[in-house]
Amino acid sequence: MTPEPTKPYQVIARKYRPQAFDDVLNQEHIKTTLRNAIEQRRIAHGYIFSGQRGTGKTTTARILARCLNCVQGPTDAPCDVCASCLEITAGGSPDVIEIDAASNRGINEMRELRENVRYQPARDRYKIFIVDEAHQITNEAFNALLKTIEEPPEWAVFILCTTESHKIPATIASRCQHFSFRSVDANDLITRMREICVKEGVDADDEALAVIAQSGEGSVRDSLSALDQAIACCGNRLDAASVRTLLGAFGIDAMSQVSTALSAQDGAAMLGLVDELERNGGSPQHFSRELSRYLRNLLVTKIAGKDSRLLAASPAERIEMERIAGGFGEEDLTRYLQFSLDLFRDLQFSLQPRFHLELGLLKMVQAGKMISVEEALASFGKNPQPAAQQAAPVMDRPALDRPPLERPIPTPPVRTFTPTPPPARTGPSPFDADRFKKTGTPATSYSAPAPQAAAPVTPSAAAPANDTEWINRLHTAMTEAGLTFSADAILQANAAVVNGELIITAPKSFQLDLGREEVLNALKKMGLPGQRFKVVFGDTKPVQRAAPVAAVSQKDDETTERALAHPEVQKFRELFGGEVRTVRNLKEQ
Ligand SMILES: Nc1ncnc2c1ncn2[C@@H]1O[C@H](COP(=O)(O)OP(=O)(O)OP(=O)(O)O)[C@@H](O)[C@H]1O
Ligand SMILES: [Mg+2]
Ligand SMILES: [Zn+2]
């Protein structure tokens, strides 16, 4: 018995190369334009097909060649049976010349091409030059082609295919019609692969096909190659788990460990994940790439919904992603994605990829703890509640539709809003720093003499309670001490106690009158020798104040006290620091 001759195996991408416009996935804008051009007999002499690898450039160029040279043509539906059609499909047509510019990029090859163009087609209507990887052609070689492309013989058509259209010189590009091929839609690709699987007798589940589609990142050829590989590895039954293992893809299950750690703000779990990855021989680069893809998908789900066509995922995965995305806010996911992309970039150059990965993941965990200014402000609007219910401001954000139960653990320390004074700040307040930046006048800070100096001043009976009272009593004390210039100056200043420190803000012109000695003297006279204080000179306008005649009204005091003790004011100062300069009772205006 003679052995059956074995048919040479053809890879799926080639076996199922589209032979007509209808078979080309997506690229509708290109198909329509070319069809119309054929119908109207407006065939250009130069075309540039650009776009991502494996999206149908060479395929479309060949289809166009068949359309133009079919015996029935020019037609947008070539007959498939004439010699031209058959030869072009087989790649053996004498009048369709495919040139690989990657290996024929020099001036000599282009001169040869130029010569070739001059001769009429051997048999067919057009002589079609399909130049693949056209961006590789050298500049001189392009120049040699210029004239030919500008004024070609009537039978010549050039189709330059490239993944990098910006490398085609403008002189050439302006003589051609340019078509950009887009990445192919994942769902359409999945449908196409399902058809191929049926024809090949392969039983593949939805999720497996989604994984394969995703691995190609928009390139049909890459996905079909992955499908080939999967069939070679798993036989006639493709399931998601084995396909993932084969392609090194991480499933939602694996990735959801990251999102769980993020929502739990669990740094230890993150470190555990990296450790496991390392032990299984996984690559940090690959992991971070998959992580970016996962976070991007969560963000898309959050913004566009689980049915978005921007996602390449099976229905079950979509439902799962929706559930996970529900536990995060849009800003959180955006931030995480940004971090993961930075991480991916950094890992490309890292000498310590493991540490980098750990660092990147921990940064993400920490980033989760941040609350935005808007959130902080939004939470002020609410009535103060018992501390236990106030828990994390991150959680009670109705505006950001965060279901609190979905995100159980991000519980920053419970803040109680008892009116305790915030901890004393060291260094100038942000307001002083800002003022300094603008006026160039540093805050003059005087420490009171030891030993009481560092002791925080608790409001005592002796210490004035508000700006007016401070100024009045300082004025009186200065007058009694015979410091008349200082007494005049103090009337035009402001005073406030921030974190136990008395801050006197005065116009620059009083720098000499309100020196350390003068203020210290006055404080001693007031019975407050240990009071910490500083005088800030800036461009402020002098306050127009009359010399004190009477004690401050009891009512003002109370208002200030109440305002400062208000939980929301407390919370604001805790978050942002700063000083409360004046308190106005709006009800009394
Ligand atoms: N839009 C598409 N529709 C259907 N199949 C496609 C499409 N794009 C690519 N393919 C498949 O991928 C294979 C390679 O396509 P093609 O050679 O046209 O890609 P290309 O854009 O020229 O890529 P490259 O830039 O790498 O040369 C084809 O044989 C075909 O099976
Ligand atoms: Mg190509
Ligand atoms: Zn034909």
Nearest residue to 32 via CA among 85, 76, 78:
76
CA dist., res. 48 & res. 168, Å (int): 9
Question: Which of 11, 15, 16, 17 should be mutated for ligand 1, with most atoms under 8 A from CB?
Answer: 17
Q: What ligand 1 atom has the least distance to the C-alpha of 221?
A: 12
Phi, psi of 160 (to 5 degrees): -95, 115
pLDDT for the residue 82: 93
CATH classification of 186-247, choosing from 1.10.8.60, 3.40.50.620, 3.30.750.24, 1.10.150.20? 1.10.8.60
Does ligand 1 have an atom closer than 6 angstroms to the CB of 184? Answer: yes
Does ligand 1 have an atom closer than 6 angstroms to the CB of 20? Answer: no
Does ligand 1 have an atom closer than 6 angstroms to the CB of 270? Answer: no
CA dist., res. 454 & res. 467, Å (int): 22
| 3-class SS of residue 128 | strand
Strands 532-538 and 443-446: antiparallel
pLDDT for the residue 54: 93
CB atoms within 10 A of CB 199: 11
Nearest residue to 92 via CA among 116, 69, 115:
69
Question: Which of 10, 19, 55, 136 should be mutated for ligand 1, with most atoms under 8 A from CB?
Answer: 55
* Atom 12 of ligand 1: nearest residue by CA position: 221
CA dist., res. 395 & res. 398, Å (int): 9
Does ligand 1 have an atom closer than 6 angstroms to the CB of 193? Answer: no
Tell me how far apart the terminal alpha carbons of the chain are, to the nearest angstrom.
111
Does ligand 1 have an atom closer than 6 angstroms to the CB of 53? Answer: yes
Closest ligand to Cα 28: 1
CA dist., res. 11 & res. 238, Å (int): 17
User: Which residue(s) pair with 98 in the sheet?
Assistant: 130
Ligand 2 centroid to Cα of residue 312, in Å, is 24
Q: What ligand 1 atom has the least distance to the C-alpha of 162?
A: 25
Ligand 2 centroid to Cα of residue 272, in Å, is 44
Ligand 1 centroid to Cα of residue 96, in Å, is 18
Does ligand 1 have an atom closer than 6 angstroms to the CB of 54? Answer: yes
CA dist., res. 521 & res. 483, Å (int): 9
Domain ranges of the chain: 12-181, 186-247, 252-367, 430-583
Q: What ligand 1 atom has the least distance to the C-alpha of 61?
A: 18
* Atom 17 of ligand 1: nearest residue by CA position: 58
| 3-class SS of residue 368 | coil
Architecture, CATH, for domain 12-181:
3-Layer(aba) Sandwich (3.40)
pLDDT for the residue 419: 39
Quickly tell me which residue has 């099976």 as its tokens: 314
- Tokens standing for residue 134: 């056209």
Q: Are 406 and 326 in contact (CB under 8 A)?
A: yes
**Tens of pLDDT, residue by residue, the chain (589 residues):** 455 556 678 899 999 999 999 999 999 999 999 999 999 999 999 999 999 999 999 999 999 999 999 999 799 999 989 999 999 988 889 999 999 888 888 888 888 888 888 899 988 999 999 999 999 988 888 888 888 888 889 999 999 999 998 999 998 999 999 999 998 988 899 999 999 999 999 999 988 999 999 888 889 999 999 999 999 988 899 998 889 888 877 777 778 889 999 988 899 999 999 998 888 778 888 899 889 999 999 999 999 999 988 887 778 889 999 999 998 988 889 999 999 999 999 998 888 899 999 999 999 998 875 565 666 677 665 544 444 333 333 333 333 333 333 333 343 443 333 333 444 444 444 445 444 555 555 544 454 443 343 344 444 447 888 888 888 898 888 888 888 888 888 888 888 888 788 888 888 888 888 888 888 888 888 888 888 888 888 777 777 777 665 444 556 677 777 788 887 877 777 777 666 777 776 665 5
- Determine whether domain 252-367 maps to CATH 1.20.272.10: yes
- Tokens standing for residue 455: 């002791």
Name the pTM for this structure.
0.59
Cα distances from 249 to residues 35, 43, 208, 245, 282, in angstroms, run 39, 45, 11, 6, 11
CA dist., res. 431 & res. 435, Å (int): 6
